[in-house]
Chains A and B, each alone.
Chain A
């Protein structure tokens, strides 16, 4: 086994274990921490594919900013351990087959098209970052700008909702 393959399996195992722990943990803070582990492992996987910029942004934005906000809200509300109700027990029985089915579908799709999947381009970090920004501002400029517009609308909506009480 080559070194990248070993690193891949370690990171993949960490990501999957983190995701399972995210679902099984009963305390919201523990779940949030598991999610951070998943994010960091995914960033490691992007790093392995030569996408340094994506890996760093994954940690800065998701691992840093967004998850800090989650943890801040959980701590502010002082949310305790979740209590199981009959309905949440139902979710266990309905969710397990659904999760298995979803995993099966994805596996089938990947197995079906594995020969057609293009290999990730491996180039230097600078050129890959530059190439990414060139793509964003030329080929994909409309989706990119539309996404920023969507985020702007969401921010305005949040401001309006917060201002209503005054």
Chain B
């Protein structure tokens, strides 16, 4: 058995890692819908989901069950192959793009196979990521075209036009980071931001603030989120490209959208905000207690909130969840090696969640663009600004080296 494991570790370890990542990402997607509904509800002075489970925490589960058991009718006159393929393409590409993202600095050896926190560590990971997102538009465009519905078709058309317009700005906005790093590898880009050990002062966000703004706007447009959600503008196009989809196929579009939100947040974190690096200087080792300092009070607060909850189910479930958080925080305090291990992923996910919150915040705040505004903004503002950023960065780098 042991011999088998060492011989095929190059195959088994990645499969285990992929299974874990897919599980984590799908759970994050599900709870992202809960967070989104809660946050937007509170922005609009409502309560949001609060019937299924304490604080509506089991709502994503109920939604999942509902999606699986719903009838899945197929409209007349659809292009069958494309209609079936579209949601699969969208979801598959969205999940694949996470494969090249590194989540932490550690390398470790399992069964004689050296591996790291992330699926694939390729030298051109940024280009691979762009290649996969570039193909992502086909799912949406095909869904719109294959549905045999004029609203769907318009949604698909808008989506492909939007992708063409914002793809250029997206790619050009990261060229500044590439010029500074001189490398396509996301791992090296992160490591270069922490070489001096000065904490957040050496992150790319400071020299590349223009690049970051262009990147984030273009990336929101690429993931079809408010204020760039014209392909599914419900006040104009019913539901846009996914009008004719129901049940699990509809859910696949949604999972893909939330996964691409996660990918964009990861990418913004890695390129501009130092990835898994702590914002504090390396010398401040007392900041390593921060995860426990956050987890223990949060867990205690959940216990306190739970024992006062209005029904018995919540009074049982919430304290259990709170106790789990407190125990996790206490365990990190008690076992310093484990605490060191989680530092990288802790900062990485803290930053990613900040970006995800910004996404949701914007959805609750901003109105949708008009179509001509979208086009003129993309071509006349975003593209020239990102080109100017590339030129400026190159000039500064040349000036410094000579």
A interface, CB within 8 angstroms of B? 27, 29-30, 33, 36, 40, 43, 52-53, 56-57, 59-60, 63-65, 68-69, 71-72, 75-76, 78, 124-126, 129
**CB-CB nearest in chain A for B183:** A126
With A69-B164, A124-B123 known to touch, is A75 a contact of B134 (CB < 8 Å)? Answer: no
Question: Are B134 and A53 closer than 8 Å at their CB atoms?
Answer: no
Known: A75-B141, A125-B122, A126-B123. A68 touches B163 (CB 8 A): yes
- Rounded to whole angstroms, the CA-CA distance of A60 and B127 in the bound complex is 8
Contact of A56 among B130, B145, B153, B161 (CB under 8 A): B130
> Given contacts A56-B131, A63-B134, A64-B131, are A125 and B124 in contact (CB under 8 A)?
yes
CA distance A36 to B82 in the complex (A): 14
Tell me, in angstroms, the Cα distance from A68 to B134 when the chains sit together.
Answer: 9
Q: Report the nearest A residue to B160, measured CB to CB.
A: A72
Contact of B167 among A64, A75, A126 (CB under 8 A): A64
**Contact between B157 and A53, CB atoms less than 8 A apart:** no
Within 8 A of A (CB), among B121-169: 122-124, 127-128, 130-131, 134-135, 137-138, 141-142, 144-145, 153, 156-157, 160-161, 163-164, 167
Once the chains are docked, how many angstroms separate the CA of A43 from the CA of B156? 26
Binding site for A on B (CB under 8 A): 79, 81-82, 122-124, 127-128, 130-131, 134-135, 137-138, 141-142, 144-145, 153, 156-157, 160-161, 163-164, 167, 171, 183-185
Please give me the residue from chain B that is nearest to A27 by CB atom.
Answer: B79
A68 CA / B159 CA spacing, docked (Å): 10
Q: Which secondary structure dominates chain B's binding surface?
A: helix
B167 & A29 in contact (Cβ 8 Å cutoff): no
List 13 additional A-B contacts (Cβ < 8 Å) besides A53-B124, A71-B138, A78-B153: A29-B79, A30-B81, A33-B138, A60-B130, A63-B134, A63-B135, A68-B160, A68-B163, A71-B141, A75-B160, A76-B157, A125-B122, A126-B185
